[in-house]
Amino acid sequence: MSCVPDRPTFRLLDPLVGWDPAICEWLSGCETGDGLQLAQPTGKPGGDPAALLPFFGHPHLARGCGVCEWYLLAPAPRARLLRLDRCHPGWRPVWPQAWLPYLPDPVAVAARGHLLAVADRATRRVLVWDGGGEVQLAELALDAEPVAVALAPWREVLVAVPGSGALRRFGIHGEPRPDTLWPVPAQVTAIAFGPAEEPGTCPVLLRSEDSGGAVTVWLTDRNRDDATPVDPGQIGRLIGPGGVAAVGDRGFCLAATDERLSVHRCWSWRGRPLAEADIGAPPPPRLAERGQLLTRAIDSGIPRCVWHRLRADADIPDGTTLQIDVATSEAGDSQPSRGAADPGWEAFAPGVPHPGDWQRLPAGATDALLNRPPGRYLFMRIRLSGDGHSTPVVHAVRLDFPRVSSLEHLPAVWRDDPVAGDFTARFLSLFDAQLEALDRVVERYPALLDPAGVPDAVLPWLGSLIGLSFDPAWSADRRRALLRAAPQLYRRRGTPEGLRQAVQLVLDVAPEIEELGPARAWGALGATGGTAGMSAALGTVRLFGPARVRFRLDRSTLSRTPIRSLGDPERDAQGSGAYRFLVQVPPSAAGTIDPERLRRLVDSQAPAHTMAQIRIGGAGLVVGQQAVVGVDTALVPLDAPLLGGLGGSVRLSRRSVLWPGRAGRGPAMRVGDRSVVGVNTVVR
């Protein structure tokens, strides 16, 4: 059970809680959105197609697998599909000239992972490939010219055609689905998908355009049958930017983010590099130069409350200004407006309080003490100004009340004089603000040790605290899983179970670990041997063969016995296979396992006095070069090779060599009806 104060001590205004707007003029985000900002004078922000470009992209551009792979449809008359990736400095054709598919008028391209789809208007078809264009999966024939195409996360091809607000559905192998999706009362021109919020769901955004050119954004979901209009200010929350920064008549620009800054790379529509100023992009939509928010009366619930502090979270670009004013009152919204507009703001509402009641904070101030007479209610006025191209953005405002300072901990004589006491309280509040920031850091420091709560950039620092280094190729989810499992891994470090858990966390495969020392063959005392009636008994069966562990002259077989120079040969029986283990890893479902990365992982977890052997499995059981082993194949041992036919008494040992006689060069052995050759018999 949590203990909370009897009455609130602060009020938060933000997009989630709300801004309590009484009047909102030329601002977006007053009801929904990511924050308060200047709006377009012509209507909703984002209603212009250029504002939707970062989210819906362009039909001739599609992002492929990963962040750096892109596909570009070069226009007719030499229409072809180009690919850009991190392995090559520029755009290159997806197919060689001899393999070009017939695409006389391609209008849209879509990509998802290794799947690729291209819609052609002249032939009224959509071609679908896998492997980034290596294998063609389907050719979809349409009864109308395609307008837009998309590859859904649930492995469907969605196509928009003229004269229909619904989307056609196909499987990735070309099978048509009977039902259409999400009918809207306008022509769909673009389709975008957001990340899945819950298993089985996926936000879908449709951009439509009516005959008058009005653009509307619709929100739906895989499990819904209809679509509803969405405020363009919400698009950034539903889907992230697609990566297209600008589009013009001559070319386009992609936003590529490196470790230090974001840069734009620009090309023509045929894949040739261009400067950003040469792409001929239309100017961005002009914004209002001024906007204002007047809040309703914010109730503290305390009569004659002394409001303490205002803190705003805001971005103020160059060329823009943020002005916040506050006023207090005991009457609230019941009083009529009594003021006149400020110079320069005659076109905006003056607000309820009198102009003399407002406290104007310094321009651009985001943290200030409030110096207003006591009052239960507080009014706030937020004014944004810009140059028509840039806008401030106010993300949140926090109001603290009543005034609390270190003056309460001083003797009462410091508060005898009301004027001096007020000055002392405000003076001490400067230091209290710094101490509060330090207390906040100390209070929130334990949250930095939670792998699930810190940002991705903090994970390497968190791992360094416990001596855990990350491979640059690991994803953020894998790093968090390792940090959560670190206590158990350290407890079991140096044990087979600890190594098995570490490999499984890093590679997503369950390894088999075999310690070679206990697994070596010592013989089975009193058990039945290989031949019926024989048992291993002391004095009759050799339990350990020294000639097979270390090469010895006149005793060991060449090329089959290792040559060792360390250790006492007489102690090989006890040391053979000791401190050695075998790590066998099956093939990973995610792809090929890097042996060097696996070796580094095993060496970091294995005890220093041990030696590891690593074996990575293949796709299945391989016998010879071309042998195929099926489910019903029986692997049984062959009969032992015998000389003299089935009744012979001379048995050939393993790897027997039959050599031709001195008199002739013919074969040493004729394989006939009475000759038997074992698996390891060498015929020369």
DSSP, collapsed to helix, strand or coil, labels residue 254 as: strand
pTM beyond 0.85: no
Q: Residue 131 pLDDT more than 60?
A: yes
Q: Residue 642 pLDDT more than 70?
A: no
Q: Residue 285 pLDDT more than 90?
A: no
pLDDT band at 258 (very low <50, low <70, confident <90, very high): very low
Q: Give me the domains of the chain, ranges plus CATH numbers.
A: 10-40+287-403 (2.60.120), 49-240 (2.120.10.30), 507-520+545-635 (no CATH), 637-684 (no CATH)
Q: Residue 43 pLDDT more than 50?
A: no
Q: What is the pLDDT of residue 651?
A: 62
Query: Which of the residue ranges 39-53, 86-100, 313-327, 612-626 would you say has the lowest mean pLDDT?
Result: 39-53
* 108-120 average pLDDT score: 92
Measured CA to CA in angstroms, residue 618 lies from 503, 506, 507 at distances of: 17, 19, 15
Q: What share of the chain is helix, strand, coil (3-state, %, to 5)?
A: 20, 30, 55
DSSP, collapsed to helix, strand or coil, labels residue 484 as: helix
More confident residue, 42 or 141: 141
End-to-end CA distance of the chain: 86
CB distance 59 to 108 below 8 Å: yes
Q: Residue 528 pLDDT more than 60?
A: no
Taking only the tens place, the pLDDT of each residue in 229-241 is 887 667 767 777 7
Type of residue found at 195: P
Sequence-distant (≥ 6) Cβ neighbours of residue 259 within 8 angstroms: none
CB distance 60 to 70 below 8 Å: no
The torsion angles phi and psi of 197, rounded to 5 degrees, stand at: -80, -35
Angle at CA of residue 221, ends 202 and 184, nearest 5°: 140
Exposed e or buried b per residue across 346-374, where buried means at least 16 C-beta atoms within 10 angstroms of its C-beta: eebebbbbeeebbbebeeeebeebbebee
> From CA 547, how far away is CA 60, in angstroms rounded?
72
Q: What is the pLDDT of residue 392?
A: 94
Q: Which two tokens stand for residue 644?
A: 């003299």
CB distance 115 to 150 below 8 Å: no
Query: Which of the residue ranges 249-263, 367-381, 548-562 would you say has the lowest mean pLDDT?
Result: 249-263
| Percentage with pLDDT > 70 across the chain | 78
Tally Cβ neighbours within 10 Å of residue 46.
Answer: 24
CB distance 138 to 170 below 8 Å: yes
DSSP, collapsed to helix, strand or coil, labels residue 648 as: coil
* 469-485 average pLDDT score: 85
* 182-197 average pLDDT score: 84
Q: Which two tokens stand for residue 359?
A: 């406290």
> From CA 446, how far away is CA 432, in angstroms rounded?
23
* 300-312 average pLDDT score: 92
Q: Residue 657 pLDDT more than 70?
A: no
Taking only the tens place, the pLDDT of each residue in 504-527 is 888 888 888 988 877 665 554 554
Q: What is the pLDDT of residue 473?
A: 75
The DSSP line for 165-187 is SSBEEEETTSPBPSS-B---SSE
Q: Which residue has the tokens 């695409």?
A: 103
Angle at CA of residue 229, ends 220 and 236, nearest 5°: 75
Q: Residue 3 pLDDT more than 70?
A: no
* 253-278 average pLDDT score: 75
Q: What is the pLDDT of residue 619?
A: 54
| Percentage with pLDDT > 90 across the chain | 23
Q: What is the pLDDT of residue 107?
A: 93
Instruction: State how beta strands 657-658 and 682-683 pair.
Output: parallel
Average pLDDT, the chain: 79
Q: Which long-range contacts (CB under 8 A, 24 or more apart) does 570-579 make?
A: 572/544, 572/546, 573/544, 573/546, 576/517, 576/520, 576/544, 576/549, 577/516, 577/517, 577/519, 577/520, 578/517, 579/517, 579/609, 579/610, 579/611
* 587-613 average pLDDT score: 81
DSSP state of 421: H
Q: What is the pLDDT of residue 199?
A: 58
* 613-635 average pLDDT score: 62
The torsion angles phi and psi of 648, rounded to 5 degrees, stand at: -70, 155
Q: What is the pLDDT of residue 667?
A: 47
DSSP state of 65: S
Exposed e or buried b per residue across 411-430, where buried means at least 16 C-beta atoms within 10 angstroms of its C-beta: eeeeeeeeeebeebbbebbe
Sequence-distant (≥ 6) Cβ neighbours of residue 262 within 8 angstroms: 255, 256
Q: What is the pLDDT of residue 232?
A: 66
Q: Residue 46 pLDDT more than 70?
A: no
Sign of the CA dihedral with 487 first, then 491, 497, and 498 last: positive
The torsion angles phi and psi of 205, rounded to 5 degrees, stand at: -115, 130
Q: Which two tokens stand for residue 640?
A: 């032992």
CB distance 118 to 100 below 8 Å: no
Sequence-ordered strand ranges (E) for 269-392: 273-274, 290-295, 298-299, 309-315, 321-329, 359-360, 367-369, 377-385
pLDDT band at 594 (very low <50, low <70, confident <90, very high): confident
Q: What is the pLDDT of residue 439?
A: 78
Q: What is the pLDDT of residue 532?
A: 42
Query: Which of the residue ranges 4-8, 133-137, 621-625 would you say has the lowest mean pLDDT?
Result: 621-625
pLDDT band at 604 (very low <50, low <70, confident <90, very high): confident
Q: Which two tokens stand for residue 610?
A: 């041990």
Say what the alpha-carbon torsion angle 372, 373, 379, 383 is, to the nearest 10 degrees: -20
Q: Residue 60 pLDDT more than 90?
A: yes
The torsion angles phi and psi of 221, rounded to 5 degrees, stand at: -150, 160
> From CA 53, how far away is CA 246, in angstroms rounded?
7
Q: Residue 332 pLDDT more than 50?
A: yes
The DSSP line for 365-377 is -SEEE------SE
Q: What is the pLDDT of residue 390?
A: 87
Taking only the tens place, the pLDDT of each residue in 191-231 is 998 876 555 678 888 988 877 677 888 888 888 888 888 87
Report the candidate in 102, 134, 137, 136 with the shortest Cα–Cα distance to residue 121: 102
CB distance 323 to 368 below 8 Å: no
Sequence-distant (≥ 6) Cβ neighbours of residue 435 within 8 angstroms: none
Q: What is the pLDDT of residue 530?
A: 46
